[in-house]
Amino acid sequence: MSTRHHRPVVTELRLSAFKSHRGATFSFGPLTLLTGGSGTGKSSVLEGLAALGRLACGASLEEVFGTVVRGGAAACVPQAALPDAEGRRGFRIGCTVTGPVGPVRLDVAIQAEPCLRIVGERLTGAGETLLTTALRDPARSSVQAAWHTAGVVPVTRAPLPDDLLATALLPLRVAGRTDGQRLVLAAAEQVVVALRGVFPVAPRPELMRAAVPLGDGRLREACDNLSAVLARTEGECATRHAALVHAMRGVCSGPVEGLTTLPAVLPGDARGPAVDAVIAAVDRGPQGTLPIDRLGDGELRFLAQALVLLTGPGVLDVDTSTEHLPAGQVLTVLADGLDLGLDRRQVRELLRLAGLAAARGHIRLLGTVQDAACVEGVGGVSVRALGAEQGGAPGRQDEVDQSG
């Protein structure tokens, strides 16, 4: 996995039955943008991949669908889906991860009603069904898992929790003694490494303007701690910091000689004393230093997204695999509303930065835009237009798969 061509990457997302999507498949390149009108399901695609990423990190269904997906698990069930005879409704998502094992498919069936649980999971690769899970007894909070062994016993069976992704649990359960077990481990690892590198970025300028405690140096999804992260990158990585300054210089309305941070203090209260803090600032040269709380929303959104594209797993708040060096991993940045509040020049500069990172094998970008014209003349970007019919025709409930 040490070379660019063998780093695990998500190359396809399947929304078999998820929100407005039915039987939908989305292929991803290094730079992929989704476009279309409101209500065509652009954001749902990113939510589906973000949910798989959190599950691969070991989060429970309640944690994932309580925070990652708008509306929670109930909103993931296709609107026209009717319950089965037992009152069950659910949804299905999956992905393909390409890497050293070749393409490996992960498909998950999740019951949302009457209770939230994984009722079926399937991992396939190298021409084999490597893992299946199925809900055998609805009264138990577990599924029956079976994974490929190819030894004296061809398949190993064991119960696993019904609220966690079984693929992420396999390294703790599979011994790796036979060729079949080693194949299962390699495929599961490939999927988990790729999905744990998924990082949704959703800058919130109203939060980015505040001073933040010094040392809060891993950039979060909302980029609310951007000032502390800039203080860190300024001191630790001169090359990337200079690239960020160059990017800002090309798209800001005023002069940009540099990006720095100014000391600040967060007042204490009954729970604790005052805290040393920082606020980022733009060096305007002869015009002085301008704290970022005076920048426009578009400039702040650009700054945050450019920082994401120029940095890596050590700076982003992403739970990548600790067993692999960063050089063996690829981050998949999810940018919903990449062009929100930005002009075309700013969007094109972000795509240029993403292209440079993708060419080095560091980052892949999946984003949504309202205006596909912003991509005109920018090479290496795949654009998929979603229409009102994208989600497929409504119909009766797609039965929740109980057999994996």
- Pairing mode of beta strands 9-18, 102-113: unpaired
**What does the pLDDT read at residue 318?**
66
Euclidean distance between CA atoms 308 and 152, whole angstroms: 49
SS3 87: coil
Please give the model's pTM, rounded to 2 decimal places. Answer: 0.91
Phi, psi at 267, each rounded to 5°: -65, 145
**What does the pLDDT read at residue 391?**
46
Tokens of 119: 């009722």
| CATH class for the region spanning 1-197+319-404 | alpha beta
Residues of the chain whose pLDDT is less than 70? 1-5, 317-328, 388-404
**What does the pLDDT read at residue 272?**
79
For residue 277, what are the CA distances in angstroms to 214, 229, 291, 304, 317? Answer: 5, 12, 14, 19, 19
Question: Start-end ranges of CATH 3.40.50 in the chain?
Answer: 1-197+319-404
- Asked if residue 394 has a cis previous peptide bond (ω within 30° of 0), the answer is no
DSSP one-letter code for 6 = G
